[in-house]
Amino acid sequence: MIITLNNIKLYAYHGCLEEEALIGGNYIVDVIIHTDFSEAAQTDDLSKTVDYCDVYEIVKKEMAIRSKLIEQVAMRIGNALLSNFKNIDKAEIHLTKIVPPMNGDVGSVTVKISVKK
């Protein structure tokens, strides 16, 4: 069973360039959570599943911590999800940096990580 949060849009200050620390940029995060929510589906009980409002808050908190590499940010998000939710078996994080500062016309760069218990 999977819960997916799509297109979480955040502004953050990640990157190797000093300008990125000052100016920041736009990011999109997708979170794919593997969990058994069958009891929640039967009982309509939020405590038997993963509250996606809490997932959003974790993503937002981790994105607010500056890193040079989005690879590190994605891993932090994944590890924080596993730490905060005992019922997550696996989490996949897709972190996209929109219009990265490069010597070329690149629309976005995405890193994808997967963490398991």
pLDDT at 22: 92
Strand partners, 95: 29, 111
Q: Is the pLDDT of residue 73 over 90?
A: yes
How far, in Å, are 19, 47, 81 from residue 114 at the CA level? 30, 24, 11
Q: Is the pLDDT of residue 101 over 90?
A: no
For the question of residue 97 being annotated catalytic, the response is yes
The pTM for the full model equals 0.95
* Domains and their CATH numbers in the chain: 2-116 (3.30.1130.10)
Q: What residue type is 58 in one-letter code?
A: I
Q: What is the pLDDT of residues 88-99, one digit of tens each?
A: 999 999 999 999
Q: What is the pLDDT of residues 31-54, one digit of tens each?
A: 999 999 999 999 999 999 999 999
Neighbour tally for 80: CB within 10 Å: 17
Residue 111 makes CB contacts below 8 A (sequence gap 6+) with: 70, 71, 74, 94, 95
**Rounded-to-integer distance, Cα 95 and Cα 97, Å:** 7
Q: Which residue in the list 61, 97, 112, 116 is annotated as catalytic? A: 97
Q: Classify residue 37 by burial, with Cβ atoms within 10 Å: 0-12, 13-18, 19+.
A: middle
